[in-house]
Structure 1
């Protein structure tokens, strides 16, 4: 079953593809976006949930989204049309890694997409040339809330550290956090229940679909990994960053 299709189905009821509530997203955008005008870029925008909310909150803002998922970009275009935002958003079907722009952006977002850049350091390196000297970056990534067991490391990988270590890495790379949000237990659980539940519900609603059995298997495997492998250990932090030296 195609990975992008799995992700689309799993995020049907949670368009922000990260463990963040609507209120948390609103607060992060409020802290990160310029008050008047400006431009925002989302590297790995998916269905454009962050960008559509940003444009709705700031009437003079313009936005650009980059993603490899053509279906997700089509959904973003539909959402922009529904909200009357089409003229203020540009969507590009291409790899976010290596994306270049003629002018730097006021705000650059990459939340829950660090895997596309090889990790947190690679994400920050990709953002740096795209961000205005006085601009703001919003980066969301995983961290260990407590010492992980071997199963959690096997599932999620070895590239993470604890919250303090994650912030230290960002600071050492030349960034200063000016705001942040650590996802709550409720947000983390809601995300996992939505992910596994939405995929399972789709399979049950489509008994004749050739991908039904695979969708149920993937959902059950993911649910088991979460409940027995990394629940209570996995955390997620979203940082609002500015360059320490312009």
Structure 2
């Protein structure tokens, strides 16, 4: 089973692909959407859950989501049609690094998707390029709650993106020309809910499909992720979501 399909199964019960509870997501959107007819752009939107929530809770907004995968798009668009917001939501399967649009966005979201640009600051640079004057960026990314072991750091920083502590992460964002107007650090309860849902959704699918050829792979993926979380990064890796405005 490919990575995109595994991810779609893992997020079946937790469509927000980050350790954030529903009230937190709604609060962050409320703080970011400053006008009733705001246009939103999500760079690395996953299945489009943030934008569906925004369209559902804010009657006048329009939204475009871009993701290289496209997994889950059909289900999200079907939900949008059921909720009567399909005419205000567009999901595009495209590499976010090559996406271009003549229309600037009042709110640009990048939640857990900085890796698509290589690292945090390139993700912010891309967001700035799409942002309308006096627009808002909602940025979500990991940081180290406490110093990880060398083995854990090597495991979670195996690509170009490296993490720092919370103070250093925010300082880098500020030095890049942004002012945080709000922020949320995911609680341990939010992390636990996310991880139990992630691993549990995969395990439940495998148990419900005993004859599927990918059953053992899915069970193994669930078990490996659960072990990495419980015996590795639980309480060590954090997640912060920042509401940012450009510094004049």
Unaligned runs of 5+ in 1: none
Structure 2 partner of 1:83? 83
Rounded to whole Å, the distance in 2 between the matches of 1:4 and 1:244 is 37
**Is the contact between residue 138 and residue 241 of structure 1 (CA under 8 Å) also seen in structure 2?**
yes
Unaligned runs of 5+ in 2: none
**Is the contact between residue 151 and residue 229 of structure 1 (CA under 8 Å) also seen in structure 2?**
no
Structure 2 partner of 1:182? 185
Structure 1 partner of 2:49? 49
**Is the contact between residue 77 and residue 86 of structure 1 (CA under 8 Å) also seen in structure 2?**
yes
Rounded to whole Å, the distance in 1 between the matches of 2:98 and 2:179 is 24
Structure 2 partner of 1:73? 73
1:57-83 C-alpha deviation (Å, 9 max, x unpaired) = 211111111112233221221111111
Rounded to whole Å, the distance in 1 between the matches of 2:98 and 2:246 is 20
Rounded to whole Å, the distance in 2 between the matches of 1:82 and 1:151 is 46
Structure 2 partner of 1:212? 215
| Equivalent position SS for 1:95 | coil
Does residue 221 in structure 1 map to residue 224 in structure 2? Answer: yes
Number of aligned residue pairs: give it.
Answer: 245
Rounded to whole Å, the distance in 2 between the matches of 1:87 and 1:103 is 17
Provide the TM-score with structure 1 as the length reference. Answer: 0.97
Q: Offset of 1:17 from its aligned partner?
A: 0.1
Rounded to whole Å, the distance in 1 between the matches of 2:167 and 2:195 is 24
Structure 2 partner of 1:98? 98
The 5 A counterparts of 1:125-164 are 125-157=125-157, 159-164=162-167
Q: Output the aligned Cα RMSD.
A: 1.1
> After TM superposition, what 4+ stretches of structure 1 lie above 4 angstroms from structure 2?
none
Structure 2 partner of 1:23? 23
Rounded to whole Å, the distance in 2 between the matches of 1:78 and 1:119 is 33
**Is the contact between residue 203 and residue 213 of structure 1 (CA under 8 Å) also seen in structure 2?**
yes
